[in-house]
Amino acid sequence: MSSDNNINIPKPGLRNIKTALSVFFCILLFELIGRPNPLFACSTAIICMKETVHYSYKEGVDRFIGTLLGGIVGLTFLLIENRFKFLASQAIIAGIGVLIVIYLCNILNKSDASVISSIVVLAIIIGVSEKSPYLYALDRVIDTFIGIIIALIVNKSVFPLRENENPSQSEV
């Protein structure tokens, strides 16, 4: 067999390994403390795992601010919608809620947080959970915080990439 037929499969990079470790630790922590459904913590850890601790921190701040703003705006507009129910009230309230949360993110110079803020607003107003919207919002903030902290700890503890190093070996 000639060497032209050999398949060169790259090894997983550091970022790939760190991301998997972050997911592992999120799930393990949730099992140890008896907290249900680590999906949002794991998702946050995946999103926040970047090439360097600095970039992970920046992503974590944006993610946390976005989740917090989305929770506050979503709950506020849910209260308004519950008070004034009429045909298309949910559609109107959801649209205005998304508009306001994106506007707030832009004012705070956190436009990267606008996507998660919008998703959280919709999740609360539309009601993707069987639990109280207040508990849902609180859980999203807690789970987001857990995912951010775990991603930062793993990124800082497991072969941290220095700011001036080439991140090509750490890609997911």
Is the pLDDT score of 163 beyond 70?
A: no
In 3D space, the residue among 130, 163, 150 whose CA is nearest the CA of residue 54 turns out to be 163
Q: Say what the pTM is.
A: 0.84
Is-contact 143 41, C-beta < 8 A?
A: yes
User: What is d(CA 30, CA 5) in angstroms, rounded to the nearest whole number?
Assistant: 46
Is-contact 73 101, C-beta < 8 A?
A: yes
Is the pLDDT score of 1 beyond 80?
A: no
In 3D space, the residue among 78, 32, 109 whose CA is nearest the CA of residue 41 turns out to be 32
The H or E element that residue 68 is part of is: helix 53-83
User: What is d(CA 78, CA 94) in angstroms, rounded to the nearest whole number?
Assistant: 9
| Range with the poorest average pLDDT among 62-71, 103-112, 113-122, 126-135 | 126-135
Domain residues of the chain, as ranges? 13-159
In 3D space, the residue among 144, 156, 169 whose CA is nearest the CA of residue 47 turns out to be 144
**Total residues found in the chain within this entry:** 172
For the chain, counts of helices (H) and of strands (E): 6, 0
User: What is d(CA 95, CA 55) in angstroms, rounded to the nearest whole number?
Assistant: 31
Q: What pLDDT is stored for residue 82 in this prediction?
A: 84
Share of the chain above pLDDT 90, in %: 71
Per-residue pLDDT tens digits for 28-83: 999 999 999 999 999 999 999 999 999 999 999 999 999 999 999 999 998 888 88
Q: What pLDDT is stored for residue 102 in this prediction?
A: 98
